[in-house]
Each structure stands twice: as structure tokens, then as C-alpha cells.
Amino acid sequence: MMEMMLQGLGDALSPSVIMFVFLGILLGYIVGVLPGLNRPAALAVAVPLSYYMSPLAAVGFLIGIAKASGAGGATTAILLNTPGEPSSAPTCLDGYPLTRAGKGEKALKVALYGSVIGDIVGTLLLIAIALPLAKFALKVGPIEMTAIMFLALTFIAALSGTSVIRGLIAGTFGVLLACVGMDAETALPRMVFDHVELMDGVPLLAITVGMLAMTEMLIQAEQVLTGQLEKTEFTDQPDKRDRGLSWGEFKRILPTIVQSSGVGIVVGIIPGLGPTVASFLAYGLAKRTAKSGDCYGKGEIKGVAAAETADNVVTPASLIPLFALGIPGSVSAAVLIAAFMIHGVVPGPRMFEEHGQLIYGIYGSMLIASLLMLIVGRLGLMGFAQLTKVPVRFIIPVVILLCMVGSYLETRSMFSVQLMFGFGVLGYLMHRFDYSRITFLIGFVVGPLFELSLRQSLIITDGQAQALLQHPVALGILLISFIALITFLRKPH
């Protein structure tokens, strides 16, 4: 074990891996600042770029993007009152008032330090508990795994949108779409409609790129054409005073950072919630526990720290269920599955046995990414803000071109490009009618594992429901799932 750990950490310190992690951090900051792009969409576009990288460099590159885009999204939220990421929306509440008071650079430093500390906390937690949880998961049978999958999909459907029913429909559709292709048990084609290209199933990249990046570009294009997207430009700070963050101020925000880290960890581990929920919950909790003299909503640095810390804890925390159980904790983690699959790695508890050196290499690259995020963010603190000058009308065609290239590279077929456009339109319609794309994507990703465990469970129980009485853990999880489902359905939306 120790030898494997040292070899993995040595791999992470290789110049090529550090270079790709640095490029991911740099690209992540740019993505966070640029209008019209978000974390999942950028990851979906970047996955094809990892084809010719080593597995460790590819995952480090993508994790760098995921980590830094959250930190970069705070830049426009603070300086322009326009969140670069949806999860940075609570940052606007105190970040922009600080800018108007001539303390924009102070707010940016608070956001950066909160992001880095939260990211390190989440990464250390991942390193600490992923392996023990994976060892436990290996002892879990198919019936228990089916129950866990059902519980995860229930929470994802309920918490990823405004309607539980629509969430369940989207998640079920994703699971059904995962059934397209060759049946693993009978070797008969299912729902291929005479398309040979679908015999191996629907290409994962075509769906992720289409539903995330392409759909986002369609939404942005609509806003440009209808004039809903306001033109914003970066302006220099009107007052250069009070630009630094003193040690006293850091000690003042430290309890908020610790508290928000806890919120982000819990939200990241529960599948389907994501960084937006974490940042709003952390900000709300910080506001409710405010002390005398705190002025939330009027330029309180603790508000900026709360939102940004929770936002960035979620990225590493959401990898805990992915590494331990094979269940993505967020849509970004779901996209990372495509990168693992490209390099022949199946996320889940067996990863630690089959690719132990790679796992420890990923841990090392994540810690390196945290350090690089601090360095790059500190050096480019105000420089990244200049990227807000790039008009959305230039970004949209470039991203669409990257979507087409990425979809083509996976299968070397224009059929994948056509599917990508089709899923882009489908994602746009789901957005318009409030069906969760996140639930759909996670349902598609966990669909094969869910089907396999369900089939094995039916064989073990011979299709008899009373056989569940011999599996009290699975029965308990199913009861929790149904109670949660009823609770969510009764909750007004």
C-alpha cells in the first residue's frame, strides 16, 4: 500500500502532469470569468482534449478546470454583480457592495482564500474516507446496491429541479436511454432502430456535450437575439484604498470558512445537490448565525467567504461517492466518468484494487491543483477580470465548433455529431419546460450499473418481494427512499 501511494504521488509530481493541471487551472479561471460558459459545459467540451493524455494527466486537467472555474466565477460576481457561475450568485449579495465601496480587490482576495481553503478541506476528506467507504461498498451485495441506487436517484430527482415529478421523469428517461445497445445478458440489440452506431450504446460524449455545452450555447444565443443578455464591461476600481486583507480580518472570517466547509462537504456527498445549493445554504446559515456588527447584504466579507468556500468544497466532496460507489455526486463528477471511461477506468470501489496507483496520483494532482489555484488566482487577481470584455457573440460559435469536434473524436463518425445536436435541442426543450438535465444525465450515467444490480437482485430473490426480508439493510434503505419520495412529493414547489 505504501509503495503504491508513493508511486502515485511520484506520478503526480511529474512535469507533464503538473503542466496539464496548470493548464486546467488556467482554463478553469477563464471559463469562470467568461459569460455564457459554466463548469459542466466546459468539462464536457474539454473531455475530448484528454484523449491523447495519460489517464492521470487527463483527470488532473479536468479536475483543474472544475476547481478553478468555481473560483473564477466569483470575479464577475464581485466586480460586475454578474455571477460567472450560478453557484456564485450569493457572492453578488456582498461582493458587489464591497466593490461599490472601493473594496473590490479585498473581496476578490476573500473569495480566493475561501475557495482554496474549502478546496483543500474537501480534497483531504476525499483522501481520508473514500478508501474505507469503497471497502465497505465491496461487501455490499447486488440487492443493497440496487437500494442505494434507488435512494440516490430519488434524492437527485427531488433536489435537482423545482418539481419532483419532472425530476423522476427526467431521471427515468436517462436510465432508459442507458439501455440502448447490446443486451449484456442475451447479446440481443435493444432500441437501436437499425443503427449500427448504437450497438455499443449511445455515445456518452454526444450526450454530455449536447445536453450541457450545446444546450447552454442555445440558451445564450436566444438571450442575445432577444436582448435579454445585458452588455457588461469591466471598469477599474473607483477607489484604491483598503485593497488588502489583514490578519485580523482573516481571523474574523475563519469560523465562517470552517462552517461553510462543513455545509459544502454534506452537500457534495449527497448526489444531485451541487455547488449552487451549497453556496446558498452556506450563505443562509452564515447570515442566520451573524454576530453583532455583521452587515450581510451591504458588503460583509463573511458573506463572500461563506458562498465561495462552500462552492469549492463541493467539487472534491462530490468525488467521494464517485470513487467509493460509482455514483456521481454532481453533474461535474458525472462528466468526469467520460474521461475515466476513455482511459479504460470504471469508477467505483474496484478502482482502488485495479488502479490504486492512479487513485493516489489523482489525490496528489488534486493537492497540486489547490496550490496552483492559489498561485494563479493571486497573480491574476485583477487580470482575469479583463476577460469580461469578450462579447458573448464571439464565444458562442467557438464553443459550438468545439462541441462538434469533441463529439466527432469519440467515434470518428458524423452520427455522434448529429446526436450531439439532437441532445442539444432536447436539453434546450428540457430547460424551457423545467425538466432537470442534471437528473437526466446522472440517470444515464448510473443506468448500466443500476440495471446490472437490479437484474442480479431479481435472480437472487427469484422475483419474490418477500425475499427482501432476508436483506434488512436493503429493505431499510428502500423504506427511507419511499419515505423521502412521499415527503418530497407532498412538499409544495
Phi, psi of 249 (to 5 degrees): -70, -35
The residue type of 488 is F
Residue 146 is predicted with a pLDDT of 85
Label residue 464 left, alpha or beta by phi (over 0 means left) and psi (-120 to 50 means alpha): beta
Spatial separation of the C-alpha atoms in residues 173 and 171, rounded to whole Å: 5
Residue by residue, DSSP assigns 423-447 as HHHHHHHHHHTT--HHHHHHHHHHH
| Alpha-carbon distances of 441 from 316, 332, 405, rounded to whole Å | 19, 10, 21
User: Three-state SS for 189?
Assistant: strand
User: Three-state SS for 235?
Assistant: coil
Q: Where do the H-state alpha helices sit in 139-241?
A: 142-159, 164-177, 204-208, 215-226
Q: What is the 3-state secondary structure (H, E, C) of 251-302?
A: HHHHHHHHHHHHHHHHHHHCCCCHHHHHHHHHHHHHHHCCCCCCCCCCCCHH
pLDDT (tens place) for every residue of the chain, 493 residues total? 678 888 888 999 999 999 999 999 999 888 877 755 667 778 888 888 887 888 999 999 999 998 888 777 788 778 777 666 667 778 888 888 888 787 888 888 899 999 999 999 999 999 998 888 888 777 778 888 888 878 877 776 766 666 778 888 888 898 899 889 888 777 788 888 888 888 888 887 788 788 877 887 888 888 888 876 544 444 444 444 456 778 888 888 999 999 999 988 988 887 666 787 788 888 888 888 888 777 888 888 999 999 999 989 988 988 888 888 787 777 788 788 888 888 888 888 888 888 889 999 999 999 999 999 999 888 877 676 566 566 777 778 887 887 888 778 767 788 888 999 999 999 999 988 888 887 788 788 778 878 888 888 888 888 888 888 888 888 888 898 888 788 877 765 4
Quick count: other Cβ atoms within 10 Å of Cβ 412? 8
